[in-house]
Structure 1
Amino acid sequence: MTRHANERTSVSALLGARVIASDGSAFGEIREFAVVPSEDASHVFGFVLRGGTSKKEAPTLVRIMDLVNQQKGLTLRSKAEILDMPDAEAYLLLERDLLDQQIIDVYGHKVVRVNDVDLIWEACLDGTDRLSLRIAEVEVGLRGAVRRLLKGLPQASVESLATRLPPSVIPWDFVDLIERDPSRRVKLKIEQNRLANMHPSDIADILEELAPAERQALFTSLDEEVAAEALEEVGPKMQQALIQDLDSEVVAGIVEEMDPGAAADFLAELPEERSDAILEEMDPEERQEVEELLEFSGDSAAGRMTTEYIALPPEASVSFAIQSLHEFEGDLEAVTDIILIDDAGAIKGLVPIVHLVLAKPSAILSSLPQGHIVTCRLDASGKKVAELFDKYNLRSLSVIDDEHHLAGVIHAEQVIANLRHKH
């Protein structure tokens, strides 16, 4: 009798299970579960088997589609194709690459360890009686650990006990494997794009939870923009650990994506020789901007400000301001106001972005409701900056030079980040 589709099982339950030949003889035992991520990351492609009579016998690969899941056990179809096991590195092997491994739960924004993998037998959609084996979720709680601890006891008894425990699982769609070997990580990259959609602070939290090798593997897998945002969210010690083994050219590419103020703070914490090597690899324009900020104390307003802001003439139109927002290459989410400056760079007004939405495109910026102008000098202390944000409930603070010209902007998130790292 063939078992029904939608029957649940697991890696721990099937590991070591016998596969029966079509003539009823023992063919081999399941030793691994091969997945081909590039073709189908959500289904097991086949079982890796070893014959029961010889432990040294070379492994073979049997496709799931060539098996019948009967009441008496997994049975080979009469015309099943038995494959020689090719290079194991070509596959994601669930027992080797997942059990006991750290993974990123991109849904819960945390790092966990895999105790078991839940699988589901499903009917194929081709109208035949063939079954497929879908990877449903990974067990990260006590239930999966108990299954493996009691491996060898009657399966019904083990499952009866395991089902009494509350499940702690992550849907397979929300799992991302951390692989420390870069050459294998490329082959095993699954749903990596989900990481890029996470908030930088969540990625930073994950990086801090990982062991050094896994942390490095994750960080180097991020693209430059995401890596830059994550680097801004961690403390100086973690920053240095993340870039320690990277070439200066690679680090320079990441630093160029950082906010200039954050980049200057980062480089200021590095040994001078290392900092100079990174600056040498940067594009001239970005390098000059960061070098100017490096001249100031990290605890001063100049050391905390960014030179990425939007400043326009008072007579500019709303439509021009909106176009400037579209063309802005800095962190657009941090921009809360349009700063109005004259030809000399002196601040003449401040227009909250919300007023652009309500104004006519032809309206002149100076005619819109203005925000309160609060400024500080380049050499203002970090304490003074924090006091101004608290006193005036600021979202951003303009920094001026000795001639009262706009030199940069400090955003609230930068003040919060500095306070967090101090505590």
Structure 2
Amino acid sequence: MTEQTIRRTTLSSMMGTRVFDAEGNSRGRIAEFLLKSEEAGTHVSCLVLSASGKVRDKQVYSVPLKDLTFSHAGEIRIRSTTEQTLMELTPSSVLLERDLLDQQIIDVHGHKVVRVNDVALVWEVEADSVCKLRIAEVEVGMRGAVRRLLKGLPQGLIESLAHRFQARVIPWEFVDLIDRDPARRVRLKIEGDRLSNMHPSDIADILAELAPAEREAVFTSLDEEIAAEALEEIDPKLQRSLLEGMESSRVADIVEEMDPGAAADLLAELPEERSEAILHEMEPEERAHVEELLEFPEDWAAGRMTTDYVALLDTADVQHAVDALRIFEGDLETVNEIFLLDEQQHLTGVVTLARMMLSERSTPLKAIREPRMHTCSIDAGSRQIAEQFDKYNLRSLAVLEHDRQLAGVIYPEHVIALLRAGR
């Protein structure tokens, strides 16, 4: 059975439209559009009618779309065999105006949060004249806002003014209902896999723009690894807000995926009791790394470094380095060098990945180490660290104990974080 698109319309322009019976008598005005998501996720299930076109009327009825006809003139009629029934809502029911308009959603293409101003609808009719009303797009631009602002004026004038603004829409298939709070406000997001594929800093910006309830809903929908990466990019005050209502075990799962230095910074910002509860839930190895970093003042190099780096004995060769990279559980994107240590864990050299990849697998790492090596002590200040990165254009900076044992590594993103924090 072939469907034919009859007419495009919008939610705002249809609100208050009269609906007639088969004899031409008015049966009420459109007060809402009922979407039963378990039945038809892309189509309106019922029109909601009342005398005044308001859902707060005493008598509010619902009419299934299959019992309606739609004429080329735009007139909506109820089939003669249809009986009006009082509107009943199920937990999964959505009323488009009440639950969708003015809500925030995520535009994954623009990497920002936008507000729903209108909904584009399409009338469709099958060969037997059965009507369907498809939800086509969510309008997030000025065009939808103008329609609602000028409601009550002649429709032709409204559309003429609205079309002076560029359409900004998000297709309905990219919108997913993820949760509702007791006030029936729908929190929306674009499909989870699309959000997870965004850069963590973009996710962080989006979380910062969302209202608290929407922010919590989106953050809790992320898996631990993505949540950890996004959390590292978020302002400390917002970090605390996001984690406030979460169980310590869930927070621990996220913190374990974070860079140890970033995790230590996060826990240092939390109340001591809360921080201890999270540490208690962490795996022993990850907890030990973070607790070690928590012992240092934040403005020391040791307070900014990470213990996620690749280090080998200086007797190793290129093949050993390749094997070490394969089993490295940290963030490989930050690794630019392999650090060489002697038997006493003293730093003896640094080998860049570029030089290593151009060498034979049997080449000793000591033979291709860099001629110069830059380090700082664990108590070096933030200014000294930033100056070294700037002066020598460093890819990393080794942090040494006072006996020259390797304590950790500072990467450029740690310096950027320092500069952004104004330290």
Band of TM-score, shorter chain: 0.7 to 0.9
Whether 1:89 aligns to 2:91 is yes
Deviation at 1:401, TM superposition (A): 1.4
Q: Distance in 2 between matches of 1:273 and 1:283?
A: 18
The residue that corresponds to 1:264 in the other structure is 264
CA contact (8 A) 2:30 2:50 kept: no
Deviations 1:358-413 (A, max 9, x none): 44445544444647421111111111111111111012111121221221111101
Further displaced range: 242-251 or 172-181: 172-181
Deviations 1:88-136 (A, max 9, x none): 4313332122211122222211122221112234577xx8765644433
5 Å-filtered alignment, 1:40-119, equals 41=41, 43-52=42-51, 55-63=57-65, 67-72=68-73, 73-76=75-78, 85-119=87-121
Q: Distance in 2 between matches of 1:379 and 1:137?
A: 56
Q: Residue 108 of structure 1 aligns to a residue in which SS?
A: coil
CA contact (8 A) 2:18 2:27 kept: yes
The residue that corresponds to 1:250 in the other structure is 250
CA contact (8 A) 1:106 1:174 kept: no
Aligned residues: CA RMSD:
3.3
Whether 1:224 aligns to 2:224 is yes
Q: Distance in 2 between matches of 1:415 and 1:173?
A: 41
CA contact (8 A) 1:31 1:49 kept: yes
CA contact (8 A) 1:179 1:214 kept: no
CA contact (8 A) 1:105 1:174 kept: no
Q: Distance in 1 between matches of 2:320 and 2:182?
A: 46
CA contact (8 A) 1:35 1:94 kept: yes
Q: Percent identity?
A: 55
Q: Distance in 2 between matches of 1:77 and 1:326?
A: 68
The residue that corresponds to 1:397 in the other structure is 397
Q: Residue 252 of structure 1 aligns to a residue in which SS?
A: helix
Q: Distance in 2 between matches of 1:325 and 1:186?
A: 45
The residue that corresponds to 1:289 in the other structure is 289
Further displaced range: 366-375 or 272-281: 366-375
> Are residues 57 and 296 of structure 1, via their aligned partners in 2, closer, same or farther at CA, if it must alter by over 3 Å?
same
Q: Distance in 2 between matches of 1:216 and 1:60?
A: 34
Q: Distance in 2 between matches of 1:49 and 1:186?
A: 19
Q: Distance in 2 between matches of 1:315 and 1:131?
A: 77
Aligned residue identity for 1:206: I
> Are residues 408 and 375 of structure 1, via their aligned partners in 2, closer, same or farther at CA, if it must alter by over 3 Å?
same
The residue that corresponds to 1:204 in the other structure is 204
Q: Distance in 1 between matches of 2:123 and 2:364?
A: 65
CA contact (8 A) 1:178 1:214 kept: no
The residue that corresponds to 1:377 in the other structure is 377
Whether 1:352 aligns to 2:352 is yes
Q: Distance in 2 between matches of 1:20 and 1:234?
A: 54
Q: Distance in 2 between matches of 1:356 and 1:19?
A: 75
Further displaced range: 27-36 or 270-279: 27-36
Q: Residue 120 of structure 1 aligns to a residue in which SS?
A: strand
Aligned residue identity for 1:50: L
CA contact (8 A) 2:351 2:368 kept: yes
Q: Distance in 2 between matches of 1:70 and 1:364?
A: 82
Q: Gaps spanning 5+ residues in structure 2: where?
A: none
Q: TM-score, normalised by structure 2?
A: 0.85
Q: Residue 5 of structure 1 aligns to a residue in which SS?
A: strand
> Are residues 420 and 179 of structure 1, via their aligned partners in 2, closer, same or farther at CA, if it must alter by over 3 Å?
farther
Q: Residue 48 of structure 1 aligns to a residue in which SS?
A: strand
> Are residues 217 and 329 of structure 1, via their aligned partners in 2, closer, same or farther at CA, if it must alter by over 3 Å?
same
> Are residues 185 and 115 of structure 1, via their aligned partners in 2, closer, same or farther at CA, if it must alter by over 3 Å?
closer
Q: How many residues are matched? A: 417
Further displaced range: 17-26 or 145-154: 17-26
Q: Residue 418 of structure 1 aligns to a residue in which SS?
A: helix
Q: Gaps spanning 5+ residues in structure 1: where?
A: none
Further displaced range: 80-89 or 69-78: 80-89
> Are residues 71 and 192 of structure 1, via their aligned partners in 2, closer, same or farther at CA, if it must alter by over 3 Å?
same
Deviations 1:139-159 (A, max 9, x none): 223221221122233322321
Q: Distance in 2 between matches of 1:192 and 1:312?
A: 39
Q: Distance in 2 between matches of 1:299 and 1:347?
A: 23
Q: Distance in 2 between matches of 1:381 and 1:318?
A: 34
Further displaced range: 301-310 or 163-172: 163-172
The residue that corresponds to 1:335 in the other structure is 335
Q: Residue 202 of structure 1 aligns to a residue in which SS?
A: helix
